Structure 1
Amino acid sequence: MKTVQEKYAFSKSEIKILRELVRGERPLSDLRKKLLFGPSLLSYNLKKLLDKGLIMENTRGFRKYVQFSDFKHASLLKNLLLVYYHIDWENLLVGKGLYILFQIISGFENSFYGVSKATFWRYLRRFRTHGILQKKVNKYEINPRFSILADFLNEYQLFFIKRIAEKLSSEAVVLWHRDFEFLVRVPKSVKVTSEKLHLTATSLFPSLGLPIFSEYNILFYSERKKNIKIEDAVLHTLLIERKNVRYVIYSLLLLHKYKEKIDVRYLKSEAQKYNLGVQIVSMLSFIETHSRQGDLPLPTWTEFEAKAKEYGVTV
């Protein structure tokens, strides 16, 4: 089965077709002549673009036509190819290029997950040559001049994520997403068979001795993570609604209950990936000092003691 990465990746042929469509609808016969594609090759690439939600086809009389779809990510890509027509996107968005851009906007470029360092630096040079990437402090980011590209990447990712979620249930709600990993809330009646979906956050609490129940399950989708640790459940609970004290308290209860088993180094490292580093440090300090610091969403110690007693956690 193809990974999400393989499904969203572009080939040079796909980019060439999209370039021909930026100025409007085209008959398939015109595309074959202009691109010198045989019927089977054109059909194969059009099917891939249809699956990506980028194009739509229609028939008038005996002729078939193709054009960009009305999806937001398709409109953004169309504008990108139109505004920056002079850039050789055929050599930038193909292969691992698009994947590396996703790593960069997610802040994971230093992990090189799924790509060799040599490949990463090769594409990095290409992007920097065109001014697409710039270095800020110790990381790379998309040049604000190419904000259309950043917007496209975000919407393109969300398109695939929503598609996966909708296959689970029409009631599925995506709570958080980043780099093709996401949290989704689904009814408990949904049967999960994919190895890429893991029960997490408050849905794991009953099995960990915390009687918190809901009519929904929280699932974490990932092609990287094989199992959910207690530390992951803590972080995923915070991601449900970052500034909601209720979820902070739930996370604190789990942290406190298993404080002797928590791998603090792993917890802090993972927290950085989710932009929860400061929050986690404050929560660990709260457990040790029984006092709040700064203006982060934390309960008073008295409030926490009351909740701990309610859920059978000794503090």
Structure 2
Amino acid sequence: MYTEAELRALEALQGESTVSGLAEELDRSRSYVSELVTRMESKGLVHTSREGKQKRINRSDARAIELFDSFVQQYTHIPFPELLGGATLRILYYLQSPASATQLAEQVGVHRSTVHRSLSPLENRGMIYKSDGKYTLNDDFKELSTVAREFAHLRHRHRIEDHTESFTILWESLDDCLVQTRAEIKADAFLLTGPELFQAYDLPLMARQRRYYLYSETVEEVSPAELCCHMLVVDDGTRSQSYCLLLLSEAAIDRDEVLQAAQKYEVDEQVSNLLEYLDTEGESRSGRLPRWEEFRDLADEYGVAV
């Protein structure tokens, strides 16, 4: 997420500075710090401005940096940049509750040895302990997981701000996020989803002048299972759930795939209700689902077999 060098510079950057001033503070060359500041700006950690020939550097006012500062100031004897650089912040993102090295490795996408190597220095300082084979943050350092999540949120916001000024993040994970905006985003990592994508399955659904994108550097296309979950994140009203029912029927989505996606996007209950509704032909119906006769009429209208 962030390197030790970037976090060291962030720690050293108290108030406005220049490349020369920061280079002196870090005891590094001006050219090294100039490249470092460019990387930090690309990640949303700082912003710069020109004043004559001088480049003025200021830190971002993001909550992630405020939380990072609170730990640095409270525990001056702990070298947080050294401890949190590299993969450590990514791992801490998933340490809101106790987790084993295997669980953390799967969630972050690293080897178990990387988890052990990254968390060992924190364990040695008593910031983390193991219980029943699971890593757990000590009470005084539980907010480190929040710091990690806020840094990930900062990265998401900065990426999106490169393409649109007005947006809302509806859901996010360590590396991906679901975005609502009125602007069209054509960048490769932003995949169209939500109401507009239903048209690909001959299920036209009004988008109400809003566009929805999944930001992901690993996903190549939004699957029907993910589309269903995205729609429920966007709006879980009767109309949206009816169209999700049509999609589940039309695309013949694998049950395990949609349940796995539902867990990822935290819409487990809604998806389980949809599947049970279809299995029982409407006999099991939650409050927001249509009567079976109404849904069957809608399915006939679109030529979807139910």
> What's the TM-score bracket when you normalise by the shorter of the two chains?
0.7 to 0.9
SS at match of 2:180: strand
Deviations 1:257-290 (A, max 9, x none): 23xx321122222222222333322221111112
User: CA, structure 1 residues 303+109, in 2 after alignment: closer, same or farther (shift >3 Å)?
Assistant: farther
Question: Do residues 19 (structure 1) and 14 (structure 2) align?
Answer: no
State how far apart, in whole Å, the 2-side matches of 1:139 and 1:203 are: 43
CA shift at 1:103, angstroms?
A: 4.6
TM-score calculated relative to the size of structure 1: 0.77
Report 1:11-90 matches (<5 A).
Answer: 12-21=4-13, 31-55=22-46, 68-90=59-81
Q: Is the 8 A contact 1:80 1:148 kept in 2?
A: no
Q: Where do 5+ consecutive residues of structure 1 fail to align?
A: 1-7
Q: Where do 5+ consecutive residues of structure 2 fail to align?
A: none
User: CA, structure 1 residues 280+96, in 2 after alignment: closer, same or farther (shift >3 Å)?
Assistant: same
User: CA, structure 1 residues 140+311, in 2 after alignment: closer, same or farther (shift >3 Å)?
Assistant: farther
Question: Do residues 209 (structure 1) and 206 (structure 2) align?
Answer: no
User: CA, structure 1 residues 296+37, in 2 after alignment: closer, same or farther (shift >3 Å)?
Assistant: farther
Query: Which one-letter code corresponds to 2:170 in the other structure?
Result: L
CA shift at 1:246, angstroms?
A: 3.0
Q: Is the 8 A contact 1:230 1:262 kept in 2?
A: yes
Deviations 1:162-194 (A, max 9, x none): 23223333344332222221122344x725241
TM-score calculated relative to the size of structure 2: 0.79
Aligned to 1:4: none
Aligned to 1:3: none
State how far apart, in whole Å, the 2-side matches of 1:244 and 1:144 are: 39
State how far apart, in whole Å, the 1-side matches of 2:57 and 2:165 are: 29
Query: Which one-letter code corresponds to 1:308 in the other structure?
Result: A
State how far apart, in whole Å, the 2-side matches of 1:296 and 1:17 are: 53
Between the aligned residues of both structures, percent identity stands at 28
Report 1:172-251 matches (<5 A).
Answer: 172-187=167-182, 190=184, 192-194=186-188, 196-214=189-207, 215-241=209-235, 243-251=236-244
Aligned to 1:124: 119
Aligned to 1:154: 149
State how far apart, in whole Å, the 2-side matches of 1:126 and 1:231 are: 40
State how far apart, in whole Å, the 2-side matches of 1:134 and 1:273 are: 27
State how far apart, in whole Å, the 1-side matches of 2:242 and 2:133 are: 34
Q: Is the 8 A contact 1:237 1:251 kept in 2?
A: yes
Report 1:84-103 matches (<5 A).
Answer: 84-103=75-94
CA shift at 1:115, angstroms?
A: 2.0
Deviations 1:196-225 (A, max 9, x none): 222223222112121223244322111121
